[in-house]
Amino acid sequence: MLDHRLEPEHEELRRTVREFARDVIAPKIGEFYEQEEFPYEIVREMGRMGLFGLPFPEEYGGMGGDYFTLGLVLEELARVDSSVAITLEAAVSLGAMPIHLFGTEEQKRTWLPKLCSGEMLGAFGLTEPEGGSDAGATRTTARYDRETDEWVINGTKCFITNSGTDITGLVTVTALTPSDEDSGKTSPTRSISSIIVPTGTPGFTVSKKYSKVGWNASDTRELSFTDCRVPAANLLGAPGRGYAQFLRILDEGRIAIAALATGLAQGCVDESVRYSAERHAFGRPIGANQAIQFKVADMEMRAHLARLAWYHAASKMVAGEPFKKEAAIAKLYSSEAAVDNAREATQIHGGYGFMNEFPVARFWRDCKILEIGEGTSEVQRMLISRELGMPS
């Protein structure tokens, strides 16, 4: 019998994070958001709570949890604010997870303890100006210099989260490398590899922050590499395995984004229920009107189904079962539910929903990127159809 009730330890964690989001994040985040400032103190407190180390082994400074645990936390954070939630999601699933999954023992011991504590943030440099949904169209290159035993990287990455904060310590970059680079032969054939580039490496330039529609309290930058040299030992996994690596990272990350989107969708319900009880028109609360009740009921339905979708995908992943289709379904449905709920919540709030001092205004600005990042809605539909065996 399928049972989606949480274990006591999961329920306790969710309650703790919900209280943290309500009592610590909610009173402060609006000011950070409007000033487009990164909330360092909030991030430090999240680090002290162990949130950045949730799915990693204790031997590397983690909490020994799993991806489902991370999803629970992301949902609760996003019920209040998505900038904070995406900072955690990107730091864990994009910054630290590649090192955990594909790194050498030395790489894990060098980087994971600081990443798990939140003392340092990691980023994942995949997207390029001409390679978004077509992630295989990578143009960044890395050549091996035998004389110095180094990789020499040239190229540009864009829309990279957590890449330019004061506590960013590394970016894992995907780059084209000769497919037989390890053999010392020359070949016109090139494949994608992943390479760890520490912050501050000469030739690694971090551009100024983007001016964004939403997620304004998170850090997003363009990165450029000009003859940027890193030790050969910074190669992450085997040469030429970068494409397979980031496909796995994106599959897992879609579950995390689905949990975040579910949180935003639920936050829209929370704010709408509260506002419709407080706001009076024509002598009674607007929540007494059936039109408002039906809107809120539909919003709750979407949030509930989104939660079931990401729970199901996460449970398959944690069990070691194939989950690509379920992750795509969860990401697709929850992101569209978030957009729908944000639109309806703004409508329920009327003119106040257009004022940035109200949380739903942030939700409206933050929701659209959920249908784009970590695979657009169109890409998710492609993945689902392929998993069903549709002709390619």
- Express each pLDDT in 96-132 by its tens digit: 999 999 999 999 999 999 999 999 999 999 999 987 7
Residues 255 and 378 in one domain: yes
pTM metric for this prediction: 0.94
User: Of how many residues is the chain composed?
Assistant: 392
Q: Are 316 and 240 in contact (CB under 8 A)?
A: no
Range of the domain at 25: 8-121
Q: What is the mean pLDDT of residues 196-220?
A: 97
The answer for residues whose C-beta is within 8 angstroms of residue 198's C-beta and 6 or more apart is: 169, 170, 230, 234
321 is catalytic: no
> Nearest CA to 87 among 96, 312, 357?
96
Q: Are residues 70 and 105 in the same domain?
A: yes
pLDDT at 180: 58
Q: Which of 121, 144, 166 is the last residue of a domain?
A: 121
255 — phi, psi (to 5°)? -65, -40
Q: Are residues 230 and 250 in the same domain?
A: no
Q: Is residue 70, in this structure, part of any structural domain at all?
A: yes
**1 located within any domain:** no
Per-residue pLDDT for 184 more than 60? no
Confidence of residue 185 (pLDDT cuts 50, 70, 90): very low
Per-residue pLDDT tens digits for 343-353? 999 999 999 99
**How many of the other CB atoms lie within 10 Å of CB of 234?**
22
**Within 13 Å of residue 119, how many CA atoms lie on the same side as its CB?**
8
How many structural domains is the chain composed of? 3
- Are residues 63 and 149 both part of a single domain? no
Mean pLDDT (whole number) for 264-283? 97
pLDDT tens digits, residue range 91-101? Answer: 999 999 999 99
In a domain, 284, yes or no: yes
Of 188, 221, 241, which marks where a domain is finished? 241
* Single-letter amino acid code for the residue at 47: G
Q: Which of 75, 300, 374, 378 is catalytic?
A: 374
392 in a structural domain: no
Residue 333 has pLDDT above 50, yes or no: yes
Residue with tokens 């059936």: 290
Is position 330 within any domain?
yes
Assess whether pLDDT exceeds 50 at residue 14.
Answer: yes
Q: Assess whether 89 and 135 both reside in one domain.
A: no
Six token digits for residue 218: 């998170």
| CATH number of domain containing 317 | 1.20.140.10
CB 193 within 8 Å of CB 241: yes
Task: Check which CATH number belongs to the domain holding 191 and give it.
Answer: 2.40.110.10
Last residue of a domain, which of 191, 226, 241?
241
Candidates 117, 139, 121; CA nearest to 130 is 139
**Considering the domain boundaries, does residue 336 fall inside one?**
yes
Helix (H, G, I), strand (E, B) or coil at 126: coil
**Does residue 89 fall inside a structural domain?**
yes
- Helical pair 290-318 and 67-78, crossing angle rounded to 10 deg: 160
How high is the pLDDT of residue 3? 65
Task: Note whether residue 109 is domain-resident.
Answer: yes
- Tell me the average pLDDT across 38-59: 97
pLDDT tier at 178 (50, 70, 90 boundaries)?
A: confident
For the segment 287-301, the average pLDDT, to the nearest whole number, is: 97
